[in-house]
Amino acid sequence: MIKVKNIVYILVAVLFASCSDEFLEKENPNALSTGTFWKSNEDLSYGLNAVYKAFSSANNIRLVENLHRSDLAWGNGFRKPTTANPFYLQTFNNSAEAIRDQWNQNYLTIFRANQVIDAANKLLKGYETDPEFNIADEADKAKVAKTNTMLAEATFIRGYIYFLLHNNFNQGSVPIKDKLPVEQEDFFTSVSSSEKVREFYLKDLQYAFEKLPSSWDNKDKGRVTSGAAAALIAQSHLYAGEFGKAATMFEEVMKLGYELTEDIGSNFTTRDEFNKESILEIGYTLSLKNDLPAWDGRDVANSAYVRQFTGANPGSWLGATPASWLITKYKSEVRDSTDVRNYVDRDNDGNFDVDAKGKNILRSYSLRTSHSIALVDDFDLGYYGFDVPGQAILFNNNFTAFWRKHTNWDLGFKDETQVSPGKVRSGVNERLIRLAEVYLQYAECQIELGSLPVALDYINRVRSRSGLQLLGTKGAAPKYDGVTYTGASLMEWLRNTEYPLELSAEGDGNRNVDLRRWGKHGSFATANYKLERFKELSKKRYISKRVDIEMPIDPENPLKKEIKGRFDSSITEAADPADPLANEKFNDLVIASQNYMKEEHDYLPIPITEEQSNPKLYD
């Protein structure tokens, strides 16, 4: 019986053995835990790189939808008049995937920036309490400086994203997240007032402006700078109608040594990236991460825009093409006939109106036009390996122009699919702010402040770089247009000629901010500006024409050519809207001007996904 008893005791001991806690402790084998990270400047730099990565996502801006919402672009897909594009038609609502993606990405970037800001502050505190830390020591001093710079970089990015959120969403009223969510209630944040949001990001940008260097070594180009912070602060003032403050801040930017590039074409393709004109720029490259599948978020190339903007087939998705009014405006830019850059030798012209074969002929279009958009009969700037854009693509089907910006037309490939076969990638950097924009915005401030000569000066700096006829009566024609500008007429020129022609389809899509604020701030504001503009543009009519293009047909013998007709590929504005020759298919914004309602379409709505997952959103 004793034996049995022993067995029972042993069994009981085995049964309820309590050395079990270790058995239940499991470490995640897949990744580091947050508790063991963020211990050094090195960790901080990994985190900051990931912030830049988030910052580089094109979803922060959604330029294509921004263009559709503005007056600059035609919808998408087939050429006019058939489109179902809700942004172009001004029927978008809070269910749109594009709006959701933009919102999500903005806050994702902010979440990452907040992690770095939080970690940097903890590191700085840690130095204070570390007994071995000595600020007099060079190494330790450098360590603090490095932490501080990284803190400022992350703060800039957070500020910039809030600037975007404020510009785009819900009348500027969005939730402010300035710390990491831990407890349950941290996850539900109500919207703050537009003023609060502005105050918040201005503080971030001001901090960045004070702490960031104004430039970086070549190996660190692409990091944010004090100049970019100043430019954003200035833009914020401009958008709020604080023209004096804005002008002062723009002057701060201009003090920092930026210069316009000699050639405007330096700003749109892989040529001359991070140049002297660039103030804020996102870097992309084709040469790394080639092993990833298509559309992989880990890629360091830019896949968002290239197929939407390119006009070369195959591989052209026609996501955004210039509006008719913009095309005709580009086409009619007046070249400065005294500028030698406007003269070319050429031997290819199809049967274009002007007999333009020969030596020393005036360019078909201005340098700015040529580098901004591809026109069927631009004989002076090739496109995707062809001498004339009209050879490269079918300009039929009412397609008359494509933006060259964001594409790789200058690399010699026949189309974008050859740049990265089987994938959608591009190495073109995104220039978010460049000096020309600062000049023009500064000019706008000066018009508002009553200093027309200064305004003219800055506008003319931009024009002069591209060999355009200058504004005003300062010198003799033909270099100057001889017009005496008033505040109103110069403002009108700036709004609907200079800004769009210099900056169309660039940056963070601020044309929508402009169209909105011109109905609100300043001495030249007109009520419901955007709607009025839409209505005005919708009344314009255009005449389309066939262009014949000489096509090389034998690669062995480049001189052997045949004439190809490109139907309805060239448009001009009809002087009389009732002209029977007017082609209705080129009308701009007809339905949009009927659908647009300021209250609903001035800003993007907060996406329904946020509304549904954040019950405190509007509390």
Partner 1 sequence: MKFKLFESLGAKSVLFALIGILSFSFVQAQTIRVTGSVTSEGEPLIGVNVKVKNSDKITISDFDGNYEISAKWDDVLIFDYLGYATKFAEIKGNNVVNVELLEDAAQLEEVVVVGYGLQTKKEATAATVRVESEDIKKIATADLGAAIQGQISGVNVVASSGEPGESSNVQIRGLTSIDGNNGPLYVVDGIPFDGDPKISNDEIESIDVLKDAASAAVYGTRGAGGVILITTKKGKEGLMKISLNSYYGIQKITSGTKLMNREDRLYADFASLRGINGTVYGNTFTTVENAPFSLTNDSSLLDIIENDNAPIQNHNINISGGKAGLSYNINASAFMQEGVIIKSNFKRYNIRANTQYTQGKWKVSTGMSSRIEDRVIPPWGLIREGIQYRPLNAQIDPESSLLEGAGTDEQRAQNLANLGQRLSRTNNSENHFFDFSLNAEYKILPSLTFTSRAAASFNNGGVEMITPNYIAFRDDGERVDTPQSRIVNRSSIAKKTTWENILNYRKNIGQHTINLTAVYSAEQYKYSQFEASKFDIFNNEVTVLDGATGESNTDSGSRNRWTQSRDNTLLGALGRVQYNYAGRYLIGASLRRDGSSRFQKQPYGFFPSVSLGWNVSDEEFWEPIKDIASSLKLRASRGTTGNQNIKDYSYAGIITLQHDYIFGTDESLAIGAIQESFPNQNVKWETSISNNYGFDLGLWKNKLTMSLDYYTTNKKDMLFPVDVASSNGGGRDNSRITRNVGNMTNKGLEYAVKYRQSSGPLKWDVSGTFTTNSNKITSVSNDNILYFPGSTVSGHNNDGDLVTVIQKGYEAGAFFLHKTDGVVHTNDELVEYQKIVPSAKLGDLRYVDSNNDGEISLADRTYAGSGQPDFEVGLNLNMNYKSFDLSVQMYGSFGAEILNGNKALAYKSETHQDLVYQWTPDFANAVVPINRGYLHQNYAGGTDYWLEDGSFVRLRNVVLGYSLNKDLISRIGLNRLRVYVASQNPLTFTKYTGYDPEVGGNGLSTRGIDRGNYPVSSQIRAGLQVQF
Q: Give the interface segment with partner 1, choosing from 89-97, 242-250, 361-369, 445-453 (CB under 8 A).
A: 89-97
What track of x and - describes contact with partner 1 for positions 175 through 204 (by CB under 8 A)? x-x---x--xx-xxx---------------
DSSP 432: E
Q: Which is nearer to partner 1, 4 or 136 (CB)?
A: 4
Minimum distance from residue 26 beta carbon to partner 1 (Å): 4
Q: Give the interface segment with partner 1, choosing from 39-47, 461-469, 525-533, 534-542 (CB under 8 A).
A: 39-47
Q: Give the interface segment with partner 1, choosing from 24-32, 346-354, 469-477, 489-497 (CB under 8 A).
A: 24-32
- Tell me if 222 contacts partner 1 by CB under 8 A: yes
Q: Which is nearer to partner 1, 12 or 488 (CB)?
A: 12
392-431 residues near partner 1, rule: CB under 8 A: 397-398, 417, 421-423
Nearest Cα neighbor of 179 from 115, 91, 130, 269 is 115
The C-alpha atoms of residue 106 and residue 110 are separated, in whole angstroms, by 6
Spell out a b/e string for 313-343, using b for 16 or more CB atoms within 10 Å of the CB, else e.
eebbebbbbbbbbbbbbbbebebbeebeebe
Minimum distance from residue 522 beta carbon to partner 1 (Å): 28
Two tokens, residue 116: 């770095």
Instruction: Kindly tell me which residue out of 41, 63, 69, 107 binds partner 1, with binding defined by CB under 8 A.
Output: 107
Give the binding-site size for partner 1 (rule: CB under 8 A).
Answer: 130
What are residue 346's DSSP bridge partners? 358
Q: Which is nearer to partner 1, 103 or 239 (CB)?
A: 103
Two tokens, residue 65: 């939808």
CB 177 within 8 A of CB 107: yes
Q: Give the interface segment with partner 1, choosing from 62-70, 313-321, 462-470, 498-506 (CB under 8 A).
A: 313-321
Helix (H, G, I), strand (E, B) or coil at 367: helix
| Amino acid code (one letter) for 44 | L
Count of Cβ atoms closer than 10 Å to residue 569 Cβ: 26
Q: Give the interface segment with partner 1, choosing from 240-248, 339-347, 501-509, 585-593 (CB under 8 A).
A: 585-593
326-385 residues near partner 1, rule: CB under 8 A: none
- Tell me if 228 contacts partner 1 by CB under 8 A: no
Helix axes 435-449, 452-465, angle to 10 degrees: 160
The C-alpha atoms of residue 403 and residue 466 are separated, in whole angstroms, by 17
What is the sign, positive or negative, of the torsion defined by CA atoms of 182, 186, 187, 191?
Answer: negative
Sequence-separated (6 or more) residues with CB below 8 Å from residue 346: 356, 357, 358, 361, 379, 380
Two tokens, residue 282: 């996102």
H or E element at residue 608 = helix 608-613
- Tell me if 114 contacts partner 1 by CB under 8 A: yes
- Tell me if 7 contacts partner 1 by CB under 8 A: yes
* Residue 454 exposed, middle or buried by CB count within 10 Å (0-12, 13-18, 19+): middle
Q: Give the interface segment with partner 1, choosing from 201-209, 308-316, 502-510, 514-522 (CB under 8 A).
A: 308-316
- Tell me if 389 contacts partner 1 by CB under 8 A: no
Q: Give the interface segment with partner 1, choosing from 497-505, 542-550, 557-565, 611-619 (CB under 8 A).
A: 611-619
Instruction: Kindly tell me which residue out of 124, 240, 256, 300 binds partner 1, with binding defined by CB under 8 A.
Output: 300
Instruction: Kindly tell me which residue out of 2, 25, 136, 556 binds partner 1, with binding defined by CB under 8 A.
Output: 25
- Tell me if 614 contacts partner 1 by CB under 8 A: yes
Sequence-separated (6 or more) residues with CB below 8 Å from residue 334: 366, 468, 469, 481
What is the sign, positive or negative, of the torsion defined by CA atoms of 575, 529, 330, 569?
Answer: negative
- Tell me if 2 contacts partner 1 by CB under 8 A: no
Q: Which is nearer to partner 1, 243 or 258 (CB)?
A: 258
- Tell me if 30 contacts partner 1 by CB under 8 A: yes
Q: Which is nearer to partner 1, 116 or 247 (CB)?
A: 116
Instruction: Kindly tell me which residue out of 115, 369, 391, 446 binds partner 1, with binding defined by CB under 8 A.
Output: 115
- Tell me if 495 contacts partner 1 by CB under 8 A: no
48-87 residues near partner 1, rule: CB under 8 A: 48-54, 56, 76-84, 86
Q: Give the interface segment with partner 1, choosing from 341-349, 454-462, 489-497, 583-591 (CB under 8 A).
A: 583-591
Count of Cβ atoms closer than 10 Å to residue 121 Cβ: 12
- Tell me if 9 contacts partner 1 by CB under 8 A: no
Strands (E), 516-613: 542-552, 561-573
- Tell me if 315 contacts partner 1 by CB under 8 A: yes
CB 571 within 8 A of CB 542: yes
501-560 residues near partner 1, rule: CB under 8 A: none
Strands (E), 85-233: none
